[in-house]
Amino acid sequence: MRVAAVDLGTNSTRLLVADVDDGRLDEVSRRQKITRLGEGVDEHKRLFPVPIARVRNVLTDFRREAERLGAERTLAVATSAVRDAENGEAFLGEIEWSYGFQTRLLSGHEEAQLTFRGASTGRKVAEDTLVIDIGGGSTELVVGGPDGLRFHDSLDLGGVRLTERFLHSDPPTEEELEACGAAVRALLAERVPREVRPRTAIGVAGTITSLAALDLGLAEYDPDRVHGHRLSREGVLRQLERLASLPLAERRELPALDPDRAPVIVAGTVILREVLDHFGLDGLEASERDILDGAALEAAALPEPEEGPAPPGAYTCC
């Protein structure tokens, strides 16, 4: 069955069209656009009209792409920004009504589990593997292996959220970077049991794959080279030092880094450094497989869509 999955993330909106057969997933098309849906949500707890308009413009293109490629089911999953926003569910009602996508608002734990499912698609994951997903509003940590999950949690730590809270200078000051790192360390110490000790790690989503591309020194982003790249802790520190020393305008010009990710990449890299240090890991493997792949597998299990009245809240979210 051909399906389409959409990830309505805090920082980016993404599409995956894939063929799913008996748990196997074959990618047809994968697209991403930085939309910053979660802009201002950490402070105001609302989705604002301009970010919503950016997402709707992208979804118009994504719907055309899914239809052109013959997707039979489409599932749009929403994560941290929509969870935190008072008008989040009304926003999802509009998405269903306007674009015909089935939507699902994921809890933090569901997001973590779906991330692990996506990252482990098409491969055997070793026992005690940590999957790290650093998003715009939250970071998912999942430890598991072939026999299931041992630990999973979703922390309110993301590139957009921590940039808005701590990194106000351009480039950020040492004091701002330390405050950002301290916040990450405190929440990891509070939420992660001491007995959780993964042996290896896989990193997914835009922060980590962008760092892998920078570590490789790519002239332009190449998912085939990024997927499977081993990013060492020393490599993460080198990129953090480099990125944090550059003004935003110069970060936007870096080869292989999406200019629209440049505003939040420093905070995301701080999160990754602190996660590696917390677990005593010397690096991780970058993966292009993530929550979007998990959502595609979920889309294949959806019932055939039916026409019906507008969902509750449609046309009232903003």
User: Residue range 73-80: average pLDDT?
Assistant: 92
Residues 313 and 189: their CA atoms lie apart, in Å, by 39
Residue 263 in this model has a pLDDT that exceeds 80: yes
Domain ranges of the chain: 2-108+294-300, 124-288
What pLDDT does residue 308 have?
53
Residue 48 in this model has a pLDDT that exceeds 80: yes
Of 60, 8, 9, 6, which is closest to residue 17 (Cα–Cα)? Answer: 6
Residue 17 in this model has a pLDDT that exceeds 80: yes
198, 279 contact by CB (below 8 A): yes
312, 93 contact by CB (below 8 A): yes
- Mean pLDDT score across all residues of the chain: 91
What pLDDT does residue 182 have?
97
Other CB atoms within 10 A of residue 189 CB: 10
209, 226 contact by CB (below 8 A): yes
CATH topology of 2-108+294-300 equal to that of 124-288?
Answer: yes
User: Residue range 99-118: average pLDDT?
Assistant: 89
Name the CATH superfamily for 124-288.
Answer: Exopolyphosphatase. Domain 2 (3.30.420.150)
Is residue 263 reached through a cis peptide bond, with omega within 30 degrees of 0 on the bond before it?
A: no
Helix (H, G, I), strand (E, B) or coil at 69: coil
What is the pTM for the complete model shown?
0.85
Residue 316 in this model has a pLDDT that exceeds 60: no
User: Residue range 292-311: average pLDDT?
Assistant: 78
Q: Who wins on pLDDT, 182 or 307?
A: 182
Residue 268 in this model has a pLDDT that exceeds 80: yes
128, 200 contact by CB (below 8 A): yes
Helices (H), 120-232: 159-166, 174-191, 206-216, 223-226
Residues 228 and 122: their CA atoms lie apart, in Å, by 13
Q: What is the pLDDT of residues 180-237, one digit of tens each?
A: 999 999 999 999 998 999 999 999 988 999 999 999 999 999 999 999 999 999 999 9
What pLDDT does residue 122 have?
80
Residue 305 in this model has a pLDDT that exceeds 90: no
Q: What is the pLDDT of residues 114-142, one digit of tens each?
A: 988 888 888 888 889 999 999 888 899 99
What pLDDT does residue 125 have?
86
**CA 107 distance to own-chain centroid:** 14
- Listed in sequence order, the residues at least 6 apart from 274 whose beta carbon sits closer than 8 Å to its beta carbon are 181, 184, 185, 188
What pLDDT does residue 109 have?
83
What are the φ and ψ backbone dihedral angles of 15, each rounded to 5 degrees? -130, 135
Residue 314 in this model has a pLDDT that exceeds 60: no
Of 106-115, 221-230, 276-285, 301-310, least confident by mean pLDDT is 301-310
297, burial (CB in 10 Å: exposed 0-12, middle 13-18, buried 19+): buried
The confidence band for 306, taking pLDDT boundaries of 50, 70 and 90, is low
Quick one: tokens of 142?
């999942």
- Cα radius of gyration rounded to whole Å, the chain: 19
* Nearest-10 crossing angle of helices 206-216, 265-279: 90
Residue 170 in this model has a pLDDT that exceeds 60: yes
Residue 27 in this model has a pLDDT that exceeds 80: yes
294, 233 contact by CB (below 8 A): no
> What is 2-108+294-300's CATH topology?
Nucleotidyltransferase; domain 5 (3.30.420)
- Listed in sequence order, the residues at least 6 apart from 39 whose beta carbon sits closer than 8 Å to its beta carbon are 48, 50, 51, 160
Q: Who wins on pLDDT, 307 or 287?
A: 287
What pLDDT does residue 111 have?
86
What pLDDT does residue 121 have?
85
SS (H, E, C) 253-314: CCCCCCCCCCCCHHHHHHHHHHHHHHHCCCEEEEECCCHHHHHHHHHHCCCCCCCCCCCCCC
What pLDDT does residue 318 have?
54
